[in-house]
A and B are shown apart, each in its own frame.
Chain A
């Protein structure tokens, strides 16, 4: 399908900045992105600040009777969201290295994130 056949396509960037489990912002952000993907929008999904804790491998929400957010994040790609990024500086500040992350993340610098924001129609930041 070409871009032209979908005039209602807008570029929506999600900046997910909250750590998982302690509050529900990470889940809200994910739900919004999945809905955007279902409606075939052009989605960027960025893990930033404490949000990078969401993409640590080996989470087990069952220990606190919660759904494991890490598993849910793996569904991003199933929904056709391919532009998934993690902020390099946020990872470094938290001593998280690339092998500790779920697969499918592109690590980017804040300059690239600034450009993504600039080229987006709408930004959700939570």
Chain B
């Protein structure tokens, strides 16, 4: 079955992002297709690569990145949410003259059309917020 997952929550502030990650892993483990991850609102912070966590703590952003890369998942961070929260890829950083890219390159920065597309083309869309 084709799943898409929408993540509205920042990591660490609530359990939602980590629930979503566990759910995403389980979707893949069971052989389903993960059509798209869509990070929206505060959820875009999950794609930030400029993070440091204590050694005995999970780095959620890194774990998302590992999962996305390992399984070549189509992952999108919402452009309007991301820009105002400082989660930028190199293209956006250059365009706005901000120098540093802060987003993992494993996620694409794109618009809400990608969410609508996920809603249309997935058998199941699950929200975590």
Contact = CB atoms under 8 A, between A and B. Distances in A.
A32 B112 contact: yes
A106 B116 CA distance: 25
B127 A126 contact: yes
Interface stretch (A33-41, A51-59, A78-86): A33-41
A38 B111 CA distance: 12
* Residue from B8, B111, B113, B120 with most neighbouring chain A CB atoms (10 Å): B120
A109 interface: no
Interface residues of A, number: 18
Contact of A8 (B40, B111, B120): B120
Contact of B41 (A28, A41, A121, A125): A28
Nearest to B127: A124
A24 interface: yes
A10 interface: yes
A46 interface: no
B116 to A, nearest CB: 5
Given A41-B120, A122-B119, A126-B8, A31 B127 contact: no
Interface in A1-44: 8, 10, 12, 24-25, 28, 31-32, 35-36, 38-39, 41
Given A31-B80, A126-B127, A41 B40 contact: no
A29 B8 CA distance: 11
B38 to A, nearest CB: 10
Interface string B83-118: 000000000000000000000000000011101110
A41 B40 CA distance: 20
A35 B116 contact: yes
A28 B8 contact: yes
Contact of B127 (A8, A12, A39, A125): A125
26 contacts: A8-B120, A10-B119, A10-B120, A12-B116, A12-B119, A24-B41, A28-B8, A28-B40, A31-B80, A31-B112, A32-B40, A32-B116, A35-B111, A35-B112, A35-B113, A35-B116, A36-B116, A38-B116, A39-B113, A39-B120, A121-B119, A124-B127, A125-B127, A126-B8, A126-B127, A126-B129
Interface of A: 8, 10, 12, 24-25, 28, 31-32, 35-36, 38-39, 41, 121-122, 124-126
Interface of B: 8, 40-41, 80, 111-113, 115-117, 119-120, 125, 127, 129
